[in-house]
Amino acid sequence: MSAYVNGKQYLQVTTLRMTPQLKILLTIIRDKNTKRNDFIFYADRINRLLVEEGLNFLPVREKKIETRTGAQYVGAEFVGKICAVPIMRAGLSMESSIREVAKRIRIGHILIQRNEETAEAMFFKEWLPDDIHERFVFILDPMLATGGSANVTIRRLKERGVKEEKIIYINLVAAPEGIEAVLSVFPGIRIITAEIDEGLNDRAYIIPGLGDFGDMYFGTE
């Protein structure tokens, strides 16, 4: 389903259907009293839901097969290859979820760090497959705040020949400011998120948010 951000509808933004189960999962990972082991377990559950939703946007074609009963079945298969690109460090937390549902996926990485004084994204290094321009690319990053890291990553992918319409940016929690910052520059990509929060505070942190995702997931608080 499309999403409304600051009163404007964005067809390129998909939020997960807010079921009671998803609301419970989000409540657990947002709760400051949740222990790290529980945080990891329930964040991984949400990550898998997000990845499954992302796969729904890949093109498919008809495929006819024969079942074990000898009957014919008209099914489907994906068209094209996939590459996942976690934005290091926090994006690494989502890598296992995509490996669980996409058996032959290639994995690239990009290292971007946020300048805590300016909130700007600083690019350091990338590790991307040579044929990434031929693939659909899932960018993995749990938090979409200012959109700086996302924009840097998308720009690097486009420089490698990846088309915007083949890029899907997957995150757990997004700020309206980040969504608008990304789509104002790259309107052809798709964003998939579990929930859109109220906005950013004066330190460019998502509110209500859940704190530093990477610190909590990797135990470096």
The pTM assigned to this predicted structure is: 0.91
What are the beta bridge partners of residue 14? 192
Q: What is the pLDDT of residues 128-183, one digit of tens each?
A: 999 999 999 999 999 999 999 999 999 999 999 999 999 999 999 999 999 999 99
Instruction: Note if 215 is an active site residue.
Output: yes
Cα–Cα distance for residue pair 12/104, rounded to 1 Å:
26
Instruction: Note if 114 is an active site residue.
Output: yes
At residue 153's C-alpha, the angle toward residues 151 and 157, to 5°, is: 115
Q: What is the pLDDT of residues 59-111, one digit of tens each?
A: 999 999 999 999 999 999 999 899 999 998 888 989 988 988 887 889 999 99
Instruction: Note if 197 is an active site residue.
Output: no
- The domain made up of 3-60+79-218 has a fold known as Rossmann fold (3.40.50)
Query: 176 Cβ partners below 8 Å, 6+ apart?
Result: 5, 6, 196, 197, 198, 199
H or E element in which residue 51 lies: helix 36-55
Contact 125, 111 (CB under 8 A): yes
Domain coordinates of the chain in residue numbers? 3-60+79-218
Instruction: Note if 106 is an active site residue.
Output: no
